[in-house]
Amino acid sequence: MSDLLPSDGGYRVLARKYRPANFDSLIGQEAMVRTLGNAIARGALAHAWLLTGVRGVGKTSTARIIAKALNCIGPDGQGGPTISPCGECDPCQAIAAGRHIDVVEMDAASNTGVDDVREIIEAVRYAAVSARFKIYIIDEVHMLSKNAFNALLKTLEEPPAHVKFIFATTEVQKVPITVLSRCQRFDLRRIPQEKLVEHFGRVAAAEKAEVDAEALELVARAAEGSVRDGLSILDQAISHGHGAVTAQAVRDMLGLSDRGRVRELMGLLLAGDARGTLENLRAQYDLGVNPDMVMQELLELTHTVTRAKVAGGGDATLAEADRASVRDWAERLAFPALHRLWQLLLKGLAEVQSAPLPIQAAEMALLRVVHASSLPDPSDLVRRLTQQGGDDAPREEAPAREPEPELRMAAAPPPTPAPVPLRPEAPAPETVAMPASFAALVELFDGQREPLLAQILHDRARLVRYAPPLLELNLAGSRPDVAQQLMRCLQLWTGERWTVTLTDKDGEPTLLEIEQAAMAAERQAVLDDPAVRKLMSVFPEAELIDYGVDPEAAAAAGTDEDMRSA
């Protein structure tokens, strides 16, 4: 255990023990290191740098490394500024220990006023005592007051040649633009998960701790791109496991031990089991799990399923049972259902976080998801309403269409038939009659399981000429390949070669505009009806929300007194 104890006999946490001492040990910031190295080699040093990024990516460590790089004199005392400070000379060791008189670190969160900045302004006039440059490192610089920023501007723009400023902040949007324009800015990126895994593996080996690969993946994932956060978690995990860290131990430590219950809860939601959903949530709540954590884990699981549906594969940080469920849900759930589930859970999380009783808000949010599982697909519902609201002329019935998979997932649902591909490799099973009108052509696309093209034709297409197999449309703003897609589909379905031309000529109103105009005319006709006018005169503040036209009832409307009594 002696290697874990520094010279002062106290334990140093891993985040401090393995803080980068030079640019070679700074991971994930290659672009910044290259820029600084070139600037130092050319002698083109800025007078102020601004380091931005989320917590734990190395802003303060980078500031200290820059200070060492500018003031390093080498082991022989004859060196100059270098991208690779030696770490052995007096300036390097003093800066690393935080005791160099010419490198001043200030926390803007504790020193926010004009008086604190005035001390800097007064001190910059004097030359460095023993270093090449006098360097001021101001952490969380966005915390300075407006007056403090204004007092610093002149000195920041034209500091003496021996003075350098290094600012660090996690909220760059709060730094005045007048300050930003006077600094050379470096955005430190989140560290990729794979690099964190490698780094934590090296740290674990140096600490002589046995950490399995899945546990390292979990720690890196929980770190969210922050080296410091990840090292703190790893430090805790090593202590938790007495030097041997397993994935299950990390899950226990992070509150992820009952992933099985979350998986079970997701299954209950998708099956529309309201009672089972509430019992599962209450069981987790009784064990001390916060309701907002349950909502977050459900959101994370929904995101994982959606990614698996898009890209395939599995998440290595999940147990095998979780991976099997994710694969199953990714195969069975359609994208609209996943998107609705995400939106419902996201709204529920916001309600839980702001509710006075989070458990009640969580229960209501999950019941809303259960209720949504029994609702039809919105696009299918709109399609049905559109068909019901069409003209009364007889028309050929479109082939029956399988509904989109709903949010509910049965235990063993039948396989969902695949939609007809846009570029089919097999011949069409049967040709259809040539559409008699443009509206019939749009219905053909809808019936042949091409809802996207059907919606484009219905909502945005202005008909210029319809003479099958010739079609000329005004489709402003559409992709150039829409015409090719339309021709392929029409040739496949009708057996004839079509010519579809997109033009900027003025065309007829879109089918959507025609339907909206018809609905507006019908509504106005209802408002103009004598019976409705009489009702409006009796109730002047009334508003027509919905209506159903019954000619016989309208003709038999009573007197004003009858209406008042009604």
**Dihedral of the alpha carbons of 537, 542, 545, 548, in degrees to the nearest 10:** -30
In whole angstroms, what is the distance from residue 141 CA to residue 106 CA? Answer: 9
- The reply to whether 239 and 282 lie within a common domain is no
- The reply to whether 239 and 264 lie within a common domain is no
- The reply to whether 310 and 360 lie within a common domain is yes
In whole angstroms, what is the distance from residue 264 CA to residue 313 CA? Answer: 21
Which pLDDT value is given to residue 364? 94
Which residue type sits at 177?
A: I
Which pLDDT value is given to residue 130? 87
- The reply to whether 351 and 461 lie within a common domain is no
Ranking 113-122, 128-137, 250-259 by mean pLDDT, the lowest is 250-259
- The reply to whether 269 and 245 lie within a common domain is no
- The reply to whether 236 and 265 lie within a common domain is no
Between helix 482-494 and helix 451-459 the angle, nearest 10°, is 110
Q: Minimal CA–CA distance to 166: which of 50, 56, 21?
A: 50
Whole-Å CA distances, 375 to 11, 233, 288, 337, 340: 59, 43, 33, 11, 11
Helix (H, G, I), strand (E, B) or coil at 298: helix
Ranking 235-249, 435-449, 488-502 by mean pLDDT, the lowest is 235-249
Does residue 490 belong to any structural domain of this protein? Answer: yes
In whole angstroms, what is the distance from residue 75 CA to residue 233 CA? Answer: 37
Q: Minimal CA–CA distance to 29: which of 52, 5, 1?
A: 52
- The reply to whether 87 and 155 lie within a common domain is yes
Number of structural domains found in the chain: 4
Reported as type and span, the H/E element at residue 103 is: strand 103-107
Q: What are phi and psi of 189, to 5 degrees?
A: -85, 160
Structural domain of 489: 440-528
Q: Is the pLDDT of residue 563 over 70?
A: no
More confident residue, 401 or 156: 156
- The reply to whether 160 and 47 lie within a common domain is yes
More confident residue, 476 or 369: 369
Q: Is the pLDDT of residue 175 over 80?
A: yes
Does residue 274 belong to any structural domain of this protein? Answer: yes
Whole-Å CA distances, 314 to 79, 126, 164, 218, 266: 52, 61, 49, 14, 18
Which pLDDT value is given to residue 406? 47
Does residue 138 belong to any structural domain of this protein? Answer: yes
- The reply to whether 227 and 145 lie within a common domain is no
In whole angstroms, what is the distance from residue 374 CA to residue 179 CA? Answer: 56
- The reply to whether 127 and 230 lie within a common domain is no
Which pLDDT value is given to residue 4? 37
Does residue 353 belong to any structural domain of this protein? Answer: yes
Mean pLDDT of the region 114-128: 89
For residue 406 the two structure tokens come to 């709903």
In whole angstroms, what is the distance from residue 34 CA to residue 37 CA? Answer: 5
- The reply to whether 48 and 157 lie within a common domain is yes
| Beta carbons of 455 and 423 less than 8 angstroms apart | no
Q: Is the pLDDT of residue 505 over 50?
A: yes
CATH code for the domain in which residue 449 is found: 3.30.300
Partnered with residue 462 across adjacent β-strands are 474
pLDDT band at 539 (very low <50, low <70, confident <90, very high): confident
In whole angstroms, what is the distance from residue 561 CA to residue 538 CA? Answer: 10
Does residue 101 belong to any structural domain of this protein? Answer: yes
Order the strands of the 499-502 sheet from edge to edge. Answer: 462-467, 470-474, 499-502
Q: Is the pLDDT of residue 360 over 90?
A: yes
- The reply to whether 340 and 466 lie within a common domain is no
